[in-house]
A and B are shown apart, each in its own frame.
Chain A
């Protein structure tokens, strides 16, 4: 692309480009030091792994070129870059919708223009861990909706799985195409001083991939020379790979007709649904566009009803089909689940996958991996205390001040307590909730999320980040996009990266070598 090969006048890669440092290899020592120059406001904290600098304040090997470029970059130019990105997002409508009590408002997710770097070796580790994890999750889901061997043998407590609100009894005995329950997964990964760990598996309707692509487009336009010189792996293939994955699930002998099912224009992720439909060249349908006739799914077109073979649904299980699930749903299509059971349409992801991203089931993922794959987990889990168990509840209640407490089915940063940032009153309220309904909660230690360089309030400062890569699993194999949504807690000291809670995002550069 032109943007990737042409340096702009403000591109820090222009002029003195410094020396190229390998990842971990010997390199000439950079003149850049955290706490001085453009990094004067960049205060390192030994409690947190810093993505940009080592403990001694020098740039990490892979980040030397980036830090040198940032050091040369006038702050006012960075301000212009940020403003340019904001304007472009505003004009192109890269927004998320927030429904208020009286009005609907559109918001732009804050983008930080400083990329985060991941080395090739680090990415290899993450990628193999993600593939292992998604393979195990699919085997686990097949098992719990068929033989239930893992439940009988106590790998995961049967009452935990069968009592999980996301367990769909309607899925028992359903022949899922290629046994792929989760075709699209988004896994939240954090880095602490002990390495990478999985914080959450999102295997229902993971979102954020459009922001990954928007961030990439923004950095390619803003710092094309720097991007080119870093040898960054490309993410633009994602829509094509997603289509290929979805199409592979169909048994149609001709080109399968794929559609994306969206709750509609006022859903917070609508931009992403529309973006993916446009990039894949498929219809973006709503429930009102769908008709089930003779256990076959059709879309109402301007020239009659047309069959749909694969539906990438971006609505929760509850809303898929008012006949089978929530009766008041108008987002899905009556009879859709019947068509699915009959094998006349593929739903991706399959209903009932939410069991695998329940935060209590999450604690058992290492055991699930060992049981189904006979392998050790490549990516670690975060220590998790299950409040459904007396010891876990007691430990959580005794240590509320130091723990993060989450609802097992929660998401978006809602319904959680961050102990160190909570008031006495909030802890008391949570303790009551825990005692009243312990099975609904888990607790985890407050993680020292790593920090990455961000341009905030006119200067470069460290902020906590996480990472959500996306894994595709089709009949033609698995695919992990070399990148991901890198979420940033933009408020100083905050550990909450969710966009609904003041978080932003930045581009993630996976280096080729």
Chain B
């Protein structure tokens, strides 16, 4: 497989995952527009924007972050994340980027995958956002999610499990790992400070991560910080847990470079193994005997910072190993 093709597949997977992630966060927020108080909504927007690494659009320079979201209107905040072509992380931009990657991949992709992706892009490109906003704001985002899940299903059903599929999945799960890490970290920092008003509930985080039902079956109806965080970090059966993403990353890397095909462990695999070890060991979010809020936060912040750093390093190593390697290293022996 051409190195450029591997990069396009990887990025296509990332952009599709990014679009879906943004859409899920938005769906949660837009659904709450009906009955949530203004200060809670503002906090929700703050969590979403910070988790996505973005600043509120057109925010005055002299106000702090929380105040900016109190001042901003929901239409502008949602529109920036859905239909703003100038926002590199908006849904329409990311969908378009995934399509651009897919255009470069036409010979590799089944026609069904291309067609489903393309139809989705044409839909969001041509959708009437102001019109949809007047009727049911959450419906537009929900349809986007449906189309993205249809695409995921078509990918599953039509693509051979070769490196074409592996590089796409690799992008998808690297993106998921990074975004989920940011989301958990942000929610922990902003969403529910003890005794704060307003606050976002931990069960809402589970719903955003499509993990609420499984959590209830496993842990009961009470959603507590420590248990929810550990659940979303360590449970291998929750599709949006960090452990689930890391396991998939490992699987893809093993498939791309079976042991023995090159040097024993390529650098990205080393980092993936380290990530797996970190996630598996992440049981000590609450230190025994000395539980205080400050201690909790210090440990969680350190963990998330380490995971975020390793996630970025993993991406860099993947590009260096499979795409941008020096020609001298690629020559046949």
Contact = CB atoms under 8 A, between A and B. Distances in A.
B114 interface: yes
Contact of A304 (B106, B118, B330): B330
When A and B form their complex, which 4 residue pairs have the shortest distance between CB atoms, in order from nearest?
A274-B106, A278-B107, A277-B107, A302-B6
Given A278-B108, A302-B323, A288 B4 contact: yes
A265 B5 CA distance: 13
A365 interface: no
B331 A293 contact: yes
Interface residues of B, number: 31
Nearest to A278: B107
Nearest to B333: A304
A305 B327 contact: yes
B111 A302 contact: no
B327 A93 contact: no
B1 interface: yes
B3 interface: yes
A394 interface: no
Interface in A282-312: 282-286, 288-289, 291, 293, 298-307
Given A92-B114, A293-B331, A305-B327, 15 more contacts: A90-B122, A91-B115, A91-B118, A92-B111, A270-B103, A274-B103, A274-B107, A284-B107, A291-B327, A300-B4, A301-B3, A302-B2, A302-B167, A303-B1, A305-B332
A288 B115 CA distance: 27
Nearest to B322: A302
A275 B332 contact: no
- B-side binding surface: helix, strand, loop or mixed? helix
A48 to B, nearest CB: 39
Interface of B: 1-6, 100, 103-104, 106-108, 111, 114-115, 118-119, 122, 163, 167, 256, 261-262, 322-323, 325, 327, 329-332
Contacts of A91: 115, 118-119, 122
B115 A92 contact: yes
B118 A302 contact: no
A291 B5 CA distance: 16
Contacts of B118: 91-93
A289 B106 contact: no
Contacts of B104: 265
A191 to B, nearest CB: 35
Nearest to A90: B122
A213 to B, nearest CB: 13
A93 B4 contact: no
B103 A93 contact: yes
Nearest to B257: A303
A390 to B, nearest CB: 51
Given A91-B119, A305-B327, A305-B331, A265 B103 contact: yes
12 contacts: A91-B115, A265-B100, A265-B103, A271-B106, A277-B107, A289-B2, A301-B6, A302-B3, A302-B322, A302-B323, A304-B325, A304-B331
Contacts of A277: 106-107
B4 to A, nearest CB: 5
Contacts of B100: 265
Contact of A293 (B1, B103, B108, B327): B327
Contacts of A90: 122
A456 to B, nearest CB: 26
Contacts of A270: 103
A345 to B, nearest CB: 15
A278 B106 contact: yes
Q: Determine which residue in A265, A289, A303 has the highest number of CB atoms from chain B within 10 A of its CB, and name it.
A: A303
- A-side binding surface: helix, strand, loop or mixed? mixed
B106 A301 contact: no
A60 to B, nearest CB: 37
Contacts of B5: 283, 302
Interface string A245-279: 00000000000000000000100001100110110
Contact of B3 (A271, A282, A284, A300): A300
B135 to A, nearest CB: 26
A91 B5 CA distance: 22
A9 B163 CA distance: 42
A473 B6 CA distance: 34
Contacts of A293: 327, 331
Contacts of B119: 91
A274 B108 CA distance: 9
Nearest to B324: A300
A265 B100 CA distance: 9
A301 B103 contact: no
A282 B106 CA distance: 12
Nearest to A293: B331
A265 B2 CA distance: 16
A291 B325 CA distance: 13
B2 A285 contact: yes
Contacts of B327: 291, 293, 300, 305
A302 B331 contact: no
A418 B229 CA distance: 74
A82 to B, nearest CB: 19
A265 B103 CA distance: 7
A302 B1 contact: yes
A265 B107 CA distance: 12
Contacts of A303: 1, 261-262, 322
A275 B6 contact: no
A62 to B, nearest CB: 33
A458 to B, nearest CB: 26
B99 to A, nearest CB: 9
Contact of B4 (A92, A274, A286, A307): A286
A420 B310 CA distance: 71
B2 A301 contact: yes
Contacts of B262: 303
B328 to A, nearest CB: 9
A425 B331 CA distance: 61
A93 B106 CA distance: 10
A270 B322 CA distance: 25
Contacts of A92: 111, 114-115, 118
B114 A93 contact: yes
A271 B103 CA distance: 9
B1 A301 contact: yes
B331 to A, nearest CB: 6
A129 B67 CA distance: 79
A55 B23 CA distance: 63
B118 to A, nearest CB: 5
B2 A304 contact: no
A80 to B, nearest CB: 19
A277 B5 CA distance: 13
Contacts of B256: 302
Nearest to A93: B118
